[in-house]
Structure 1
Amino acid sequence: MIYDAYQGIADVHDRVRKTAENAQAILNQWSANPFAPPWRRMAAYYELVALAGFTHARPDYGIDSVERKGEQIPVEERGVLWTPFCQLLRFRRQGGEDDPKVLLVAPMSGHFATLLRGTIRTLLRDHQVFITDWINPRNIKLELGGFSLEDYTQHLIDFIGFIGEDCHVVAVCQPTVSALAATAVLAQDGAAIQPASLTLIAGPIDARIAPTKVNELAQEKPIEWFRSNMIGIVPNKFEGAGRRVYPGFLQLCAFMSMNAERHTKSFVDLFNHRVEGDIEKADAIHEFYKEYFAIMDMSADFYLETVEQVFQRYLLPIGRMTHKGRKIEPRAIKRTFLLTVEGEKDDICAVGQTLAAQDLCSGLRPYMKTHHLQAGAGHYGVFNGKRWETQVYPVLRNHIQSSR
Structure 2
Amino acid sequence: MLYQIHENNRAWMAPFVNAAHLSYLFLSNPVSPFAYSPFSQRLAAGFELLYRLGKEYEKPRFEIASVMVGNNNVAVTKETVLAKPFCHLLHFKKEWGAVKEPRLKQPRVLLMAPLSGHHATLLRDTVMALLPAHDVYITDWIDAKMVPLSQGEFHLHDYVYYIQEFLHLLAPGLHVISVCQPSVPVLAAVSLMATAKDPDLPRSMTMMGGPIDTRKSPTVVDQLATERDLEWFERTVIHKVPPNYPGHGRRVYPGFVQHFSFIAMNAARHARSYQEFYEHLAQSGGDMVTEHHRRFYDEYNAVLDIPAEFYLETVKIVFQETRLANGTWNVEGKPVRPMDIKSVALLTIEGEWDDITGRGQTKAAHHLCPGIPRAKREHYVVPEVGHFGIFSGRRWYERVCPKIAQFIKAHP
Please, what is the CA RMSD of the aligned residues? 1.6
Contact 2:183–2:210 (8 Å) recurs in 1: yes
SS in 2 for 1:250: helix
- Equivalent of 1:334 in 323, 333, 342: 342
For structure 2, the 5+ residue unaligned runs are 97-101
Distance 2:411 2:276 in 1: 45
SS in structure 2 at match of 1:216: helix
**Match in the other structure for 1:78:** 79
Confirm whether residue 125 of structure 1 aligns to residue 132 of structure 2: yes
1:44-85 per-position Cα deviation (integer Å, ceiling 9, x unaligned): 111111111464642211111123446543211111101111
Change (3 A) 1:32 1:386: farther
Q: Measure, in 1, the Cα distance between the counterparts of 2:375 and 2:216.
A: 25
After superposition, give the CA deviation of every residue in 1:202-257 in whole Å (9 maximum; x if it has no partner): 01000000110110011111111111111000001110000000011111111111
Question: 2:166 matched to 1:159?
Answer: yes
Aligned equivalents of 1:172 and 1:31: distance in 2?
46
Aligned partner of 2:95 in structure 1 is 94
| Structure 1 counterpart of 2:301, from 290, 293, 297 | 293
Q: Aligned partners of 1:195 and 1:14: how far apart in 2? A: 48
Name the structure 2 match of 1:188: 195
**Counterpart check, 1:219 vs 2:226:** yes
- Partner letter of residue 261 of structure 1? A
2:66 paired with 1:58: no
TM norm structure 1: 0.96
Give the SS at the match of 1:87.
Answer: strand
Shift of 1:131: 0.6
TM-score (norm 2): 0.95
**Aligned match for 1:313, one of 315, 321, 324:** 321
Aligned-residue identity in percent: 38
Q: Report the Cα offset of residue 138 of structure 1.
A: 0.3
Structure 2 Cα separation of the partners of residues 386 and 174 of structure 1: 22
The residue aligned with 1:249 is 256
Q: Contact 2:192/2:334 (CA < 8 Å) preserved in 1?
A: no
- Listed one character per residue, the Cα deviations across residues 238-289 of structure 1 (whole Å, up to 9, x for unaligned) are 1000000001111111111110010001111111221232422211101111
Q: Aligned letter for 1:247? A: P
Structure 1: distance between partners of 2:32 and 2:248: 47
Separation in structure 1 between the aligned mates of residue 88 and residue 346 of structure 2, nearest angstrom? 26
Secondary structure, counterpart of 2:319 in structure 1: helix
CA contact (8 A) 1:172 1:203 kept: yes
Equivalent residues, number: 404
Q: What is the CA-CA distance between 1:35 and the residue it aligns to?
A: 2.9
**Deviations 1:125-176, CA, capped at 9 Å, x for gaps:** 1111111000101011001100011111111100011111111100001111
User: In the aligned structure 2, how far is the partner of 1:17 from the partner of 1:259?
Assistant: 25
Does the Cα contact within 8 Å between 2:26 and 2:32 map onto a contact in 1? no
Q: Does 1:42 align with 2:50?
A: no
Partner of 1:105: 112
The superposition leaves residues 76-111 of structure 1 with CA deviations (integer Å, 9 ceiling, x where unpaired) of 111110111111000133336432111100111111
Show the counterpart of 2:288: 280
Work out whether residues 27 and 43 of structure 2, in 8 Å CA contact, stay in contact via their aligned partners in 1: yes
Query: C-alpha deviations, 1:345-404, integer Å up to 9, x for none?
Result: 000001100000011011100001000000101000010011111011111001111110
Q: Is the 8 A contact 1:206 1:353 kept in 2?
A: yes
State whether residues 317 and 360 of structure 1, in contact with CA within 8 Å, keep that contact through their aligned partners in structure 2.
yes
Partners of 1:54 and 1:295 within 8 A in 2: no
Match of 1:304 among 300, 312, 318: 312
| Contact 1:30/1:36, CA 8 A, preserved across alignment | no
| Residue 207, structure 1, aligned to residue 217, structure 2 | no
What's 2:143 paired with?
136
Which secondary structure state, in structure 1, belongs to the residue aligned with residue 118 of structure 2? coil
